[in-house]
Amino acid sequence: MVTFYRMATRALITGITGQDGSYLAELLLEKGYEVTGIVRRSSAPNLWRIEHLLDRIELRPGDLLDQLSLMKVLAEVRPHELYNLAAMSFVPASWDQPMLTGEFNAQGVTRVLEAIRQVDPGIRLYQASSSEMYGKVREVPQTELTPFYPRSPYGVSKVFAHYITVNYRESYNLFAVSGILFNHESPRRGLEFVTRKVTDGVARIKLGLADSLRLGNLDAQRDWGFSGDYVRAMWLMLQQSQPDDYVIATGESHSVRELVQIAFDHVNLDWQRYVRLDPKFLRPAEVDHLVGDPSKARTALGWRPAVDFAGLVRMMVDADLALVSQAHGGPESRSAVALDSGMTAPIQSLRSAGIE
């Protein structure tokens, strides 16, 4: 009797050490994938988000600035699916480094596409687009057909990446899709992002380690969801019979003020006693009312977010309470904080986030 074994699907993830990369790696491993991540050579590897996965995944050196390194990894790994999540992702920093942002986020995507075209055009590509492409919005809510009007170098670079992906799909018949993801957060978010800055600040204030939290525009509104939900949408896009682009969002908009209020309420504190407005945290050009219409993803992919906004904020506050408490000798352990998705978040080295 001959026994046939089904070969595991191979996935390659750029940006695997980031928030989305870590959740995506977990999801793919649960589905039986062989997962390889591309990491840039660094004297101080930033692996804290995937430490719990290192014995189950493979890491290979590569760089979006180096075409040959990408082609080498593709030729060696021969992935069935490639998720391009690597980017200069902190929007305010794109004003300080606009040229480097373009090299990574725009030309880097072109290098990925060209590597696929030359090595194996059968590889299915997911490209991470962004709601920041809408910028000065033309309609509310935003759909896949809403015109782009980016308001930052980051947004501009993402528009190029989005359209070069469409161009390669149509010109070379590649299975290349873009997910226009609206803001998505988690306890693994970096402290430079306002969501983590708020939840980390609330934890420090609650534990008596800080007495104020400095923020910029409290009226800025975003469509915030949970990263663990959004990586599921990425995977679903690559399982379809035809490539297409999708808005991934909750369809609900919330202000930074609401974020702050829910976070402080969760620890029974009055946010108005602790929040200070600081002009240095204002953007040179703010985006308008960002809220996505996920109808197409609901209909075509069967995707819906499982974690709502309030649940996301409370999840992040709880995780930061445990992390900050542990870092300062408290009894709680970050690894014991269960996320609503059933996943746990590893310990991050603490960094300054403008909190006094």
Catalytic residues: 130, 132, 154
Rounded to whole angstroms, how far apart are CA atoms 72 and 75? 5
Alpha carbon distance 182, 248 (integer Å): 6
Residue pair 141/193 in contact (Cβ under 8 Å)? The answer is: no
CB atoms within 10 A of CB 337: 18
Cα–Cα separations (whole angstroms), residue 297 to 25, 59, 180, 354 = 21, 31, 11, 37
| Rounded Cα distance, 228 and 320, in Å | 17
Name residue 1's beta-bridge partners: none
